[in-house]
Amino acid sequence: MTQQSGRIWVMGGRPLNGTAAIPAAKNSVLPLLAAALLCRGPVRLRAVPRLSDVECSLGLLRGAGCAAHWQGADIVVAGMPSNSTLPGETAAQMRASILFCAPLLARLGEARIPLPGGCAIGQRPIDQHLKGMSALGAKVRFDHGGVTLSGHLRGAVIYLDMPSVGATENLLMAATLASGTTRIENAAKEPEIVDLAAFLNAMGAKISGAGTSTIVIEGVRALHGASWQPISDRIEAGTMACACAITGGE
């Protein structure tokens, strides 16, 4: 395979054989970085891929007042968030910036983010996120192209109109430090949800049912730090497996 003048040329006709290391899944790393805002101790995520969305998330963490930096292939996040307003230019670059509103709201009692960008694959509204936050007691206010959430969070029963991965992740994080018990029904079941719940439990959360359509979260007073290896990227693993299979390799 060669790349010339913006084109990729692939000369086929031979099997693909060998071993490939599958990196951590970006779609798991991003919510894990957001969840690091919830705890009082340092968090270490191991073997994280250096991608633009990951760098953007580090910018959001720093904008919230935390220290976030690379140590080799690991990312270390430490410090109490002190700024409830995410940097607009950075947040607008990435749709996953919406995931930072739950931990900021849970820790500081307020979160203000611009309406998220970074997605060019059609309509992906954040109404399920805001519906769930409202059920948990948050006040939602739109102004100047952004959304502000404020208030003390308390447990609730939340039914998602569709099993949104992002909304499930956001509500999972918000409910972790809410008063009382929260039940999320019609929750997303993706492996990234399971990874996030396991990470939160490793930091002291009380979450059960992740990976099923009903997740129950018992709110706790605080979370502690942890070291965590995110799950591998199933999409990349599937791509490698398909490439091997269709070329008759091993």
Torsion angle (degrees, nearest 10) of CA 77, 184, 157, 134: 50
H-helix or E-strand spanning residue 7: strand 7-9
Q: What are the catalytic residues? A: 119
Range 91-106 burial, b when 16+ CB lie within 10 A, else e: bbbbbbbbbbbbbbbb
Residue 61's closest CA among 41, 90, 40, 89?
90
Distances, alpha carbon 239 to alpha carbons 89, 94, 165, in Å: 33, 24, 22
Helix (H, G, I), strand (E, B) or coil at 220: coil
